[in-house]
C-alpha cells in the first residue's frame, strides 16, 4: 500500500476505534461514575482490522472500507513493462507481435505482480506492488 492508502486505512481504523467509546449515561449526574465515558474493549488491532476488512464483507461494509488485492495477469504485467520502457520496439518482433515472456522472467523484480485497490468513503486508490 502507498502512503495515501495507509492514510485512508488509518482514518477508517480511527472511526472503528472511536466507536468503542460510550458517552456517559448522565453527564450532569450526581455520581462521578454517571459522568464518565466508558470503553468497550476493541476486538481488533490495526493489523487484524485490515485482515478482517479483506476477508469479511459484512465487516468491510460496516466500516465503509474495502481492500482488494489481486495478482496481475501476464498480459497486464506485459502492458506495464512495455508502457514503462523508453524503447518499446525492443518488445516486438518484426511482425509486430509482443515477445516479452522471456523479458518478464529477466525483469521479474521490476514488474509489479499485484494490484491493490482500496476504497473508503467513495474514494478509490489503486497501487501496484
* The three grid cell numbers given for residue 76, joined into one nine-digit string: 497486464
Strands 114-120 and 123-128, by their bridges, are antiparallel
Residue with cell 515472456: 101
Q: Residue-wise pLDDT tens for the chain (129 aa)? A: 889 999 999 999 999 998 887 788 888 888 887 878 777 888 899 999 999 999 999 999 999 999 999 998 877 887 777 776 665 556 666 676 666 655 555 455 677 889 999 999 989 999 998
Separation of alpha carbons 101 and 99, rounded Å: 6
Separation of alpha carbons 87 and 82, rounded Å: 8
Where are the chain's structural domains?
Answer: 1-67
**What per-residue confidence (pLDDT) applies to 84?**
66
The CA–CA distances, whole Å, from 46 to 70, 99, 103 equal: 21, 43, 39
Amino acid at each position: 500500500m502507498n502512503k495515501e492508502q495507509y492514510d485512508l486505512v488509518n482514518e477508517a481504523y480511527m472511526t472503528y476505534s472511536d466507536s468503542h467509546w460510550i458517552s456517559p449515561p448522565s453527564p450532569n449526574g450526581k455520581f462521578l461514575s454517571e459522568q464518565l465515558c466508558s470503553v468497550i474493549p476493541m476486538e481488533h488491532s490495526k493489523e487484524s482490522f485490515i485482515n478482517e476488512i479483506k476477508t469479511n464483507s459484512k465487516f468491510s461494509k460496516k466500516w465503509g472500507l474495502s481492500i482488494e488485492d489481486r495478482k496481475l495477469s501476464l498480459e497486464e504485467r506485459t502492458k506495464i513493462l512495455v508502457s514503462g520502457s523508453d524503447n518499446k520496439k525492443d518488445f516486438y518482433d518484426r511482425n509486430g507481435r509482443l515477445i516479452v515472456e522471456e523479458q518478464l522472467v529477466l525483469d521479474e523484480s521490476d514488474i509489479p505482480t499485484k494490484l491493490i485497490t482500496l476504497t473508503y468513503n467513495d474514494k478509490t486508490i489503486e497501487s501496484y506492488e
